[in-house]
Each structure stands twice: as structure tokens, then as C-alpha cells.
Structure 1
Amino acid sequence: MLLSLPIAEQVFGYTAKEVTGKTVQEMHTKERVAPERFEKAVKNVRAHGEHRYMFTQEHEDGIHYFDSRVSGIYDAECELVGFALFIHDVTKRKQAEAEIARLATVIEQVAATIVITNLKGDIIYANPYFETSTGYTITEALNQNPRILKSGDQDDSFYKELWDTITTGNTWKGVFINKKKNGELYHEEATIFPIKNAAGEIINYAAVKQDVTARVQIESERDATLKALQESNSRLGETLAKLKETQEQMIRQERLAAVGQLSAGIAHDFRNLLTTIILYSQMSLLAPNLPPTLTYNIETIISESKKAADLIQQILDFSSSSLLQVQALNLQTIIQNTMNILQRTIPENIQVSLKTMPKDQSSEFIVQADSGRIQQMLTNLATNARDAQPHGGELRFELSHVEITPNDTPPIKNMPPGKWVYLTVTDTGVGMSEKVRNHIFEPFFTTKEVNKGTGLGLAQVYGIVRLHEGYIDVETKLAKGTTFHIYLPASDELRENNNTKEASTVPQGHGEKILLVEDDENLREAGQSILESLGYRVLTARNGQQGLIIYKTEKNIDLVIADIVMPKMGGEELVHELRKINPNLKALCITGYALEKNADELQEAGFLGVIHKPFAVDTLAQVTNRTLNANVGRWI
């Protein structure tokens, strides 16, 4: 060991002075870090150039998370002469990720109405409690002005004062007298404020509102009582004390209710929520004569919910090496979809374009990839390009096919022969110096101001490319701009899959009887509705014990769909008991957790397949149909 930084003392237990001259194996004798971990890293560095892993350690102030990278050190002849071990304490980042997840859950579960509008005042977001407080569904409210709640009991000057306050960048507080969908009047205590971008420009308005009808009624009753008591001048002190006590009790009840909702939201299974959102949204799409705008909104909800699921998966499994959910994708389609999303974040003075070569629209750029990760890669590159040209410019995506033969010199060192999908991402921004260029893929390296960037964006891009067995390089000139060159292994699988998919339809049931066992009530009801709409007869149970009773009572149940993790009796134990009754049982498992067991073990337990939460209607329909038509004991 030639050089050690202070973090090494945290990890290995040696000071910088003690570690100098020691081998890594000698350092591991204190068993702060398992020796076999570094030995594995050495093998990977020799084979691939570097090795990444994450580990945790318990310190006096709690568990710390460390992100480690072992890289090779090469001499002028490119011979491996040593190893460099980089260790970053990412505890704060992990804590921040957990905090973001908690805050997202709070917004969805808090017992208060939260609404976001555009600059015209049209609603673009409302949390679930909006439906409880107004009687309108979220889909009914989207793109509507909040004046749909207007009761007429407050004059134009009231609303003018509100708009004058928030449009000048200030916060407005007050009480609305609004009208629910059923015509019932109610009072809402509201705080409305502008949302500003980094430049201080107002881009949206947000409102946090609490139904205080009960409190207002109490206050009104108190005022009436006080007036009557003043006239009669009797029992004034006793009545006032009682009213005050009643008011304080109501406030305490409201506060406790909010805390209860908050606690439930934090504890709730976020994946169950996303599954319910996706299923009900897809059910809504089946309604006849939907307006195009509403159809687009619902499809956006589904799309964004799936992305949220991808984000949750990445947060939960950040340190895993098996995060990728690979499928055949058309990279051109992914870029186009990402460009549509980027329109909301890329300023209008930056022109975004996509060019394909050849220009033949039938040409496909197929790769085996994880769509969520690829979109994250594109988003990070686009964000980097945006920040590099604050006064406007261009952001160009270009796609082409490249084939490298064994006799060719590869465009990037160590890139093997084969067919590649070649993507370039170019900006016309400020560019980078050679010194900066040499470090841009290193974690936590950033040239931005404090609190303006984490230094993880391009490091994440590099990791995503490498996870897909791809290669990345960068070309840049100061004051001219930057181009990232990305090569991903080409595939031709999607063309065949697309033809099959286009020719197929969502399979329907024929009255088969299905027992659905799921402990989450909303998801259970959504699943029942979907399966019944597909033509199945559905029985439901909230846990394995209840499911076992129903199965023994009912006759001719064709399929059991059971959640793996449930109170009292889980899905695996349930299927084990049911196979004692019916050895030819057909069963599917559904789960929102990362499965420790592989397909063979689940098949041995009696399942024919698994559905991962969150899932969509077509996934449930296809897997259910295949399972019903499969032979017993055959994994689908």
C-alpha cells in the first residue's frame, strides 16, 4: 500500500501511517473487510479493468454505507502494475433516498388535500385525499380549474386578492367556502403558494388544504351561543369553558387523525399502491368514448407509475448486481419517449433533435436492455447538456448501426468485434478541459457549485452502459461543446416479438373459477375487478387461512393466485396445504418483494409462475391464461 486516505482508517482500522507498505491481505487481518471480497475484486480487475461493490459497516453513529471501486494501475506499456481502491461513504445519499421515498408516501397518504396547478390555474395534480374531501375523482379534476368547487358564497374581490398575492410570488392563506360534487358546502383552510424554478420564475401553484367544516361549525355554534348568553347574562363562564374544551378536543382529533394517516402511509407497501394505480387506470381506459385528453392523461399516469416502480426498485436494490430487467427494446422509441418527457425540463432555448442513419423509418435500433435504466442514462446526459448551455443551444441525439470486424480497430479500447447500436449525444455548450474530461465518470466529481449537483449523474451513465455490456467515451472542446459516444450490443429480437404482439389480443376467460388471495384490500378488489372483466369467476380471501377455508368449501376451483407474504399464512404455505387436497393444483404467486428463491424452487413449492408487483392488466391476463392452459408442474 503506497497511499491511504482518512476514510481507510474507518474501513480497515489502520491509520494512514500504519497502512503504508502493507499489503491489502495484511490489512484484512483485522477482519473489518472480508479478504475474499478484495480477492474477487482483483480477479475482476484483471479480467475487466475494474470492480464495483457496495458494503455496510456498523459505526458508533449507526450503519454506514460504502461504495467501492477497485481499478487497475497500468504502466506505459499498459501492463497491470498495481491496484487503486476508491471508497466513498454514501451514507448521506442512502439516507436522502429513504427520505425522498418517505416524503412521496406522505403526500399520497396525508389526510389533507394537496393540489398543483399550471399558471392558468388548471389542476395538473391532486393527491388521493382530494377525492375524499370533494367527491370528485382525480381523473374528473385533472385539467379543470379549481372553480369547479366554487360555491358562490365568496365574491370576486376574495379571489382577486388571492390571485394578486400568489402571482406576485407571495403566499396566500385563507378559508374557502366550497361546494362538493354532491352540492354539499364545506370549509377549507388553505395555504396557496407559487412554485419557482432555479431562476426564480413561477412555474406552478400549489395548495395545501384541510377540511375545517367541523371546526367552523363549532365556532359558529360557539358564537351563536355566546350571543344568546350575552343577552341573557347567565351561565356564561360554564358555556364558554365547554365550547373551548370541545374546540380543543376537535383540534386534537384532527391532529391525531393526520398523524395516524402519516404513520400508515409510511408503513404501507408502496408497490401495492402502484399496482392498484396501474390496474384501475387501465380499467378506466376500457371505458367507452373517453376524450382523447383524458385517455392521454390516464396513459401518462400508467406510464409514470411504471417509472415510479422502476425508481423504487432501484432505491431498494441499489447495491444488487441483478437490478436489470432486460428485454428487447427499440432504442429510437426510448429516446423519442424520453424527449417528450424532457420537454418539461429542457428550456425552450435549447433545441432538441433526434437523427437516425439510415433515415429509413423502418430501420430498428434493437438492444437488450432495461428500459428504466436506459431512460435514466438519457435523462442524465440531457440534464448535463442543459447545464452546460445556460444561454441556449442544441442537444442532438444520433443513432446508427456499426459493425466491427476482427480486423478493424475498435473505436473504444477493448471493444470486441460484433454489431453495435451507436448513440451519440451532443451539446453545443461550454465544453470541458482535458483535466475535467479525465475525471467526469468518477463518482462525486463535479464542477458545479455547492448544492447544484452531486457528481453522480455521469458516473451513473457510465455504470448503466457497462451494466449493458456497452462502451462509452467522450469528446469535448472548450467553448465548442461535448459529444458522448455510446455503443450497445445490437439485437434483432424485437422485430419477431413485435409481430407476435401485434397479432395477439388480451386473452379472455371462459367462466373459470379463480381464488385470489391477497392481504391488501385495494389490490385485492382491483385484481377481482380485472379478472371478472376478463370473464373469470373470482373468489377472494385476505390471507392464506381464509383462502384454505374457501378452497375446502368451494368446488371446482381452477386456479389459485396468492401473494407470497401475508399475515397468518403466506402463499407458499397455503399452496403446500392445498396440494395435499389437490395434487393437480394450478397456482400463481404474486409478490412485491425481491424473491430469494429461483423458479425451480417456486415450481417445487407448487407454483407454475410468478407475477411481480406492480403489474399491468395485460400481464395478469396473459399469465393467468397461460397458467390455466399449462400442464401441471410445468413452469410458465
Structure 2
Amino acid sequence: MNDKPNEVSVAIRYSRLRVSLNPLTLAFSGSHKSLEQPFREAYFDNSLDHLRRCKLYAILFFGIFGILDALVFPELIYPLWFIRYALVCPVFLLGLVFSYTAAYRRVWQAANAFYIMVTGFAYVAMVVIIPPPESYFYGVGTIFCIFFGYTFIHARFVTATVAGLLVFAGYQAAMFLLMETTGSIQLIFGAHFLGINLLGMLICYSIETQERRSFFLTTLLEKEKHRTEAANQNLEKRVEERTATLQRINRDLHKEVQERKQAEQKVLTSHNQLESVMDSIDNHIHVSDIDTRVILMANRHMKETYGEDIVGKKCHEAIFDRDTICAGCRNRQLLDENGQPGPSCTWEEKNPTNNRWYLNYARAIVWEDQRIVQLRVATDITAMKEMESRLQRAQKMEAIGTLAGGVAHDLNNILSGLVGYPELLLMDTPEKSESRLLLETIKKSGERAAAIVQDLLTLARRGVAISEVTDLNRVVRDYLDSPEMANLKSIHPLVSIQSNLSTTAFNVMGSPLHLEKTVMNLVTNAAEAMPEGGDIILTTQNRYVDRPIQGFETIPEGEYVLLKVTDTGTGISKTDLERIFEPFYTNKKMGRSGTGLGMAVVWGTMKDHNGYIDAHSTQGQGTEFELYFPITRQDVALEIEAQPLESYRGTGESVLVVDDIKEQRDLAAFMLKRLGYRVETVASGKEAVVFLQRQPMDILVLDMILEPGMDGLETYRRILAFSPGQKAVIASGFSESERVQEAQRLGAGAYIKKPYRMEQIGLALRQQLDEKPVSKLPSGDSIDE
């Protein structure tokens, strides 16, 4: 074994390297002759990219100096540029292309010599062309060319020397034969150029010598590396053999110790894995003594929620902040009749310390010290409970809405007579007749009942047309100036109602009638919540939501007009606030709050307007409702004045009324006859098809909902099959549905909303009849007979 300290290796000096080189050509010789070919291959590979860049540099610089030619010798520009751009630059460009061929490897040194001579003789030619003394300065280019060849392009000593001497000889010959120079100038230039050549040769000789010594040294290092690796492999093999022997010897001596360590390691690993698994679960997991209720273990999520010092505390103290055992403790339910671990328990409960809902799973297990403990896993289900509540609310609203929609449809048909027939009778009743007051009372009662039906349709989300551009500020102002507002102030004189309306608020797409009803319901509710008086503030403003708002409902990103109704009343409890938009839900005395549909109508109107509601309330301090309406950048349309009766009278045109309700058919027929039309009626789509095949009519009044059989859209399709261009207007007690729009796309005219009114149906018929008959059945639509 060598006890000497390690010696620090130092770099080997080139002067100490013993390498055999030919003194003239610098080729490897003697015992190192075999290195010549590998050196040339390596020298070429290392020089190739550099040579290509050198050619680009030569083209660049040689080309740029052509600008100097044009500035100094404009009369000689053509011969000078011919030398630069027609001879030298193409040679280098071709050389650059040639460098990408396989043949270049064999002749690259000869090519280097050729480039030196081409460039050098080019400068000699320019020296000859340019008159002295300026021509002497172009001789500098020859010096530049010679040094470029000796140093920059990796030319070997022999190659560069031959090329450099030829350029020198050519320059001297040109001075002697072609240029008018004195002997002194020739001597001076010749001596300097010869000295520069010799200096370049020495530099090139030194560079190539160093390159070859470096290559020789690298080769030696590679050989030593291989020897070292072989020695290391041999040593490693011997060490492995010795190690194997020692292991065989120690195996028997330490077998018992190893088995014990393995057992301890398994226990430790199992414990660490258990902690890692528990900490990776985002549920509350803890283990507590089933008798003392002291927490023995808790995972990371549990500690983050209840504190790092939870271990060692009793579970009712750490989790529920109680001094006594929880009344519903299930510890004993986890044991069987013998006091051993029994079935598991699962239950939901709300933690009063953080108001979160948890789904708990508990089971009794035997701990490592053989005592019985409780393992509990608590999953936070607060979001799921809130989602369930919203889903139940939505399902309840949908079910009641469906019921309300059906009731509203039937009521619409019944109310048509209460609204339509008094209107017809009033046309024949003198102004001073006592019967006129009775008829107007009946008509107004029918209209009020129709307004309630509209509330039901709003609740069912089947009665709001939101295609009108509406100014929300105007809706608020119209309500504040309305008789309903005056009546509310008379009932609640201590309530102050103020408005703070933004002058820059955008318009919204909606129904002014339903929006005003929404404002009225919110203000009425607020006034009723302030029996001792208070303030109600109506505010509008533009609001950009750049991230979803998690409020009473989730408000997505977007641009909205915000309508805010704030009061200083008694407030709403959290339980009531969650149910406030349910139909018929109220905590007021029966008979004092209308139909009980007010807030449900607000909810339905907002859904029809693609809007969102957020509500906040603090008992004893007041309530705030925020209504988010999507904005529109369209302008509000101008109001249309009422038309005189003569503008929509008929002139004897034939009308077919298609409606499955007899009262509706009779009412429509009576109105149309009074307007001057010839009227026929049928009770179904099938009857309408048969009737029109037998007797053409000028126009149809077509109910969209026909029972049983075909609805209005299908009926119109079948009629168009044999009567293209048939004119029609669409009637329905519901909103303008997709099927209504499809019928209009096929050629139907205006949409009439029931119950029928004289002006409404008269204008719709007149507008459609006055249009030129054009079939709008698109190509490709199929109509079944």
C-alpha cells in the first residue's frame, strides 16, 4: 500500500513534448507518422464551419470596399468592380458552395492556396490599374490578403507559404514590368513585402506546430484515459470479488441484527407511509381514544383547520370548542356488546365553530398499544349542500312554473272573453249610457286578471319578450311617477324613496312592463319591511365583472347594468333569504301581500332577461338586492303612437281563424267581422288543411298550440305545400318561441299575444295583407303531406 501523499498533476509544457515532425512540411514523421491522417481529418472537421464563415467575411469585406473605389476612382469604377464583383466574389461564393460537397475534403488546402492567390492577384491588378501614388495604398490589400491566408483560414504552413510567395512574386513582377516606379520604391516595397511574407510564414509555422502538438497531446491523453479506465475496471473487479468474500463472511455473523433492523425499518416505513397517505388526503382525519377522547393522531388538513396543537387535546374541545362531551357522541355505537370494534357509523353534521357541513365516517380500531380507538374521516360537503339547496330551489321553481304556465294558458283563454267582448260592446254603447260603466268595469277587471296571468307566465318563464332595447333609468323613473308609487307612499308615509341613477348607464334588452313590475315588487317589499319608516334607495350603474361573483347565485364574468334596491328595514333572516324567491312563500300575514308571487316574479323576470340576482341582508339593519342585467349598446327605439281604427279596417278580405278553443274562435271571428273581414273558423290544424284545399283564403289567424294533433307550425308547413305564399299571422298565449320564429321564417307575419285586442289583431292583419305575396319556404325544407 502506498503511504505517500497524492501528487498534484500539472499541465505538460509543449517544450517537453517529444513529437517527430518534418521540419519543412511539419507532417508527422518517424514513430508518429501514423498520426498524420487522423490529424488532417480532425483539422478539417474542426475548421469547416470556420472556413465557411471566412468565405462570407471575405465576400462581405471585399464587396464593401467597392464603395471606396466608387468614391476615390469613379473613372476606374468599371474595371475595379469587374475585378471585385465578377472575379473575386464569385470565386469565394463558388468555394462556399463547393465546401458542402464530399470532394472538398480532399482539396481544401489547395483551395485555400487558390483563394489567397485569387485575392492577392486581384489586389495586384488593382494596383496596376490605379495610377501612383494612390496605387501604393491598394498594396495594403495585398498585405491584408497575405496575413488573412497565413492566420485566419487555417491554411497549412506549406500551402500558405507557396501561395504567399507567389503573390509576392506577382506583385514584384507587376512593379518591375507594368508600373513606372523607381528602383528605390521597388526595393523598399520588395523588402517590406518579403519581410511581411516571412513574418506570416513564421506565424503560420508556429500555429500549425502548436496545433500538431495539441493533437499529439490529446492523443496521449486519450491513450492514458483508456489505460486508466482499464485499470479502474480491473480494480473494481477485484474490489467486487473482495467485497463478495467479506459479505459472505459477515452474512452469518450479522444475520440476526439484520433481521431485527429490517423489522424496525418496516415498522418505520409503514408509519411514514401511513402519515404520508393521511396528509395527502384533503379530508379531516384523526384518531382519538374511545374512552378519554384524546386525539392521538391528526393529518395535515386537520391541523391546518384546527391548529397544529390539536394532538393531545380532547376532540370535543379541539373540534367543536366545547367543554363537555358532545350530546350526539357516537363512540359507544362503534363497539359491539363485548366492547370490541363493531360496525362503522356515517352521519352528516354542521360544525358551529366554522359553519361548515361535514360527512363523517367513524370506525373503532385496535391501536398499536392494543387499546381501542376511534378513526374518523370528515369530508367537507358544504359546497355540495349549497348545490343541493340551489338544485332543489331550481326544481321547485321549475315544477311550480310548469304548473303556473298551464294554469295561465287556460286562464288566458277564459279571460279573452272578459277583455275582448266588453271592448266590442263598448263600440256600440253610447258615451252616457249606464251600461258603459258596467262594461268598462268588466273590461278593467279582465285586464287586471290578465296582469295576474302575466305574473304566472313570468313565473313559468313563458311570457316575457326581451327583444326590446330598454333604458333601465327610464323604467325606474316611470315607476317613481306612476299611480302605484303614489298609492304606496300613501300607505307608507314614513318611508322615503330616493334614486341615484347613473347618467352613463347602458341600455338592456328587455320588457319595460316586466322590468317596471320587478322594480315595483322590490320597492313594495322594502316598504313593507319598514313599518316605522326608513329609506329606500334605487341605484343604477355600469358594472364590469372580471371574475365570477359567488353570491346568492354565481354571477359570471361580463358587462352588466346593475340595479340596486337598498332599504333600512328590519332585514331578512338567512333562512328566509334562501327561500324568498319561492312562489307563494311569505312570512307576512295572509291578505296583506297580494298574490305571494312578487319575489317569484322578480326571479322569473331576471331569468327571462338572462340576468342574475345577489341579495344581502342583516337583521335590524336592512336589505340590499342587486340585479345584474347584460348590457346592450343598441339605442332605444322611438315609441309608436296608437293607430286610428280606420287605419286597420278590412276591405272584405277572407280570414280563416284556426283555434282549438271555441270561445277564442268566436271572439276572434266577432272582432274581425266588426273590422270588415269575411271570417271562417276551424278547430284544428287538420280541419284547416282540408278547408284550404277546398276553399282558398286571403289570410290565416293561426294559433300555435292546437290540441290534439298538429300544432300551428306543422299546420302552416302542410298548407304551404299546396298553397305557397299563403299569408298568416301567429297567435299564442305564450311567449314568442322558436317554433313561432320558424313559422315566421317560412312566411308568417306578426305574432299576436293573447288575449285578443282589436287594435293588435287588426294591425297585424293589415300589415301582412298589404305586403306583396312572397314565398319564404327555403330550398331544401321538406313538407309532409
TM-score scaled by length of structure 2: 0.39
Q: Which has the larger radius of gyration?
A: 2
Whose helix proportion is higher, 1 or 2? 2
TM-score scaled by length of structure 1: 0.46
Whose strand proportion is higher, 1 or 2? 1
